[in-house]
Amino acid sequence: MNAIFPFGYESTTAWYLVLYLGTLLMHLILMSYVIAGSAWLANSRLRIWSSPAQPIKERSTITIVDILTDWMPFALGGAITAGVAPLLFVQILYQEKFYTANLLLFHRWMSILPVLIVGFYLLYVQKAQWSAAKQENRSRGWLPLAMRSLVSVLAIGCFGFVGYSWTENHLLANQPDELWSSFYRDRRMFYFDSQMIPRLGIWFCGTFPAMLWILAGQRWLLRTPESATFDLLAADEAAGNDRSLEKWRREQSTMSTVVMVSLALGWGFVVWYGWCLTEQEKAAVFTITAAPYWGLAMVGTAIQIRGWWRFKDQTLVDLRWIMIIGAGLILMMIGGLVLRELLRVSHVDLGKWQQAHRQSAAVGGMYVFFVFLLLNIGIAIWCLRGVLKSKI
C-alpha cells in the first residue's frame, strides 16, 4: 500500500476499517482490565502461601485486590458487550479469511463460549464471602486459602484460553489455501506457528498498562474527601499511624513498577515478533507509510513511562497525571492496532471486497449502529455513576 493506512482504500472500506479499529480499541481496554486484573488476583492469592500466618485484622483502606475483586464481573460484561461491534466489522472486512478460520477450528473454537461462561461465574465466586479479599490470610486454614487460590487460577486460565484461541484464529486466517487444505485433511484441532508466542506476549504485557491506568482512576475516585478510604487514611495520619498510608504508597509504587516492566517486556516481544515475520509481512509494517504508527506507539510509550515515573511517588492520586498517562496509552494502542492490521491486510486483497463493502454500507444499518452505540455508552455511564455513588 502506497498511502498511509487507511487512505489507500475506497472511502467505504476505509470507513469500515476506522470503525473496526475504533470499536476494537474500546474492547481492548476493557479486555485488558479483565485479563491483567485476573492475573493480579491470582498472583496475590498464590503469594499468600509463602507469607507467614498472621492474625486477622480488619483493613481500614481499600486495596487493589478489593477493587479488582469488586469490579471484575462488570468489566467482563463490558468487554463482551464492547466486543460485539468489532466482531461484526471484522466479518464485513475479511469475509473469506475470517469464516474459513472459524470453520477449520469449529469444534474447538466453539468451546470459547462455555469457557467464557465459566470464567464469568468464577469472577462472581471470588466476590463470595468465603472468597472475599479481606479474608485472605493463612490463619483461616489451608482449605479456604486453597479454594480461593484455585478459583483465581481457573479464572485467569479461562480468559487466557480465550485470548489464545482468538490469536490462533487470527494467525490461521492469514495462511494460504494450501495450509488450510492440509489442516482440514489432517483433522487438526489446534494451529501453532512461530508467531504465536511473541504475539501472545505482546498482548499479555499490553494488558497491564491499560488495567493499571483504569485502576489508578478508580483509586482517584475512591480517594475523594467523601470516601471512606480518604477519611480512614486521614484519621490514621492524624493519629500518627502511618501503616495505612505506607501501604497506599507502596501500592502506588508497585503499580508504576509493573507498568514499566510490562512496557519493557512488551517491546521485547515486539522485537521477537519482528524476527518471526515473513518477508511479505515485513514489507507491510517496515515501510515509510507505517512509520507514523510506529511513532504513535513509541511516543505513547514514552508518555506513559514519564507519567508513571511521576505517579509512583505520589501520596495522593493526581488526576492530571492519570489523564496524561491515559493519552499515552491511547496513542500506543492506536499505533499497535494499526500495525497489527497492516500485517493482516498484507495477506488479504481488500480491493476485491470493496464492492461487498459498498453493498453492506448501502443497507442503511449504520444509523442504527450509532444509535445503539450511544445508547449503550449512556447506560454504562449511568450504571457506573450509580455504583460509584454507593461506594463513596
**pLDDT tens digit sequence for 243-281:** 556 777 788 889 999 999 999 999 999 999 999 999 999
The answer to whether the beta carbons of residues 251 and 63 sit under 8 Å apart is: yes
Q: Please identify which residue in the block is written with the cell numbers 500495525.
A: 339
Contact residues for 339 (Cβ-Cβ < 8 A; gap 6+)? 285, 290, 293, 294, 297
> Phi and psi at residue 127, in whole multiples of 5°?
-85, -10
Residue 322 cell numbers, joined: 492519570
pLDDT of residue 58: 46
Report whether pLDDT(225) > 50.
no
pLDDT tens for each residue of 90-149: 998 898 888 899 999 988 888 999 999 999 999 999 887 655 544 445 555 566 778 888
Rounded CA-CA distance 183/199 in Å is 21
Q: Which of 78-92, 313-327, 328-342 has the lowest mean pLDDT?
A: 313-327
What average pLDDT is seen over the chain?
84
Count H helices and E strands in the chain, helices first: 16, 0
Report whether pLDDT(210) > 90.
yes
pLDDT tens for each residue of 23-79: 999 999 999 999 999 999 999 888 876 655 544 444 446 788 888 998 999 999 999
Q: Please identify which residue in the block is written with the cell numbers 498482548.
A: 203
The answer to whether the beta carbons of residues 93 and 17 sit under 8 Å apart is: yes
pLDDT tens for each residue of 344-377: 999 988 877 778 788 777 777 777 777 877 887 8
Rounded CA-CA distance 64/255 in Å is 9
Report whether pLDDT(229) > 90.
no
The residue ranking higher by pLDDT, 130 or 153, is 153
The residue ranking higher by pLDDT, 200 or 310, is 200
The interaxial angle of helices 196-222 and 11-47, nearest 10 deg, is 80
Nearest to 125 by CA among 174, 77, 73, 89: 73
